Amino acid sequence: MKIHKEGRRILFFTLLALLAANLLLFRYNAENSGFNKVFAGISVIVFLTLLQFFRSPARRLFTHEDLIIAPADGKVVVIEDVEEPEYFNDRRKQISIFMSPINVHITRNPISGIVRYFKYHPGNYLVAWHPKSSTKNERTTVVVESEAGPLVLFRQIAGAMARRIVWYVNEGDEVSQGEEFGFIKFGSRVDIFVPLDTEVKVQIGEKVKGGQTIIAQLKTDAPSLF
């Protein structure tokens, strides 16, 4: 398993800091060996936690032009019809995936197509499951004109722990389903907005894998066999 590029600098400097702290303790606090051993154990746990957070596992990606694929690992926490006020200004079906600190935090394109809209919004850091997090928190909004025709909006949302959202797409880019479009550091949420007649393939509470789990199917003139 690889380490994602967004974590390499953090892991390197964290490792240096932990090594330095432990060396100083064992040199200047040798008489308190019990404390030193506990601190060393905690240091290992901290580093391993960061290491698993920034893991980038190999994925066999599932693609099809009229299927919406999960943009991230996590749990489905919202499936409802809502008013989307930023781009569509009408009612859309929203599917939200909550990413806990132990999930892989790579975010992937749920559909192939052309990026018609992109905007970064600075904001607050409410907990990711808060009802207002999708409009008040730091976030990015991406709208892709899918190869199947319908427009799909997806949004990275920072949470209480997440303090940096990274994105790799801009307006006019051609994106491929399953490829990385960004990374959210230390836990958060991804929202997907699709037409109301889209058929949802997941349920509340279901765990999904980014790039692999089919979460919905767009209504098109020539639907797939799924």
Q: Is 165 exposed, middle or buried (0-12, 13-18, 19+ CB in 10 A)?
A: buried
Predicted local confidence at residue 101, as pLDDT: 76
Predicted local confidence at residue 125, as pLDDT: 59
212 — phi, psi (to 5°)?
Answer: -125, -45
Bridge partners (DSSP) listed for residue 56:
2
Predicted local confidence at residue 113, as pLDDT: 92
Cα 8 to the center of its chain, rounded Å? 18
Q: Does 188 participate in catalysis according to the annotation?
A: yes
What are the sequence ranges of the domains in the chain?
2-56, 67-217
Phi and psi based region of residue 17 (left: phi greater than 0; alpha: psi -120 to 50; beta: remaining): alpha
Predicted local confidence at residue 210, as pLDDT: 87
pLDDT tens digits for range 5-61:
776 787 888 888 888 888 888 888 878 878 878 888 888 888 887 777 777 777 777
Tell me the C-alpha distance between 176 and 10, whole Å. 28
For 38, the token pair is: 């506990």
pTM of this prediction?
A: 0.79
Q: Which of 145, 4, 12 shows the shortest CA–CA distance to 73?
A: 4
Tell me the C-alpha distance between 42 and 72, whole Å. 29
Predicted local confidence at residue 34, as pLDDT: 80
Predicted local confidence at residue 23, as pLDDT: 87
User: Catalytic residue among 100, 133, 188, 224, which?
Assistant: 188
Judge whether 153 and 92 are in contact, CB under 8 Å.
Answer: yes
- Residue ranges of the chain with per-residue pLDDT less than 70: 1, 4, 7, 123-136, 159-163, 186-187, 221-226
CATH architecture type of domain 67-217:
Distorted Sandwich (2.70)
Predicted local confidence at residue 86, as pLDDT: 92
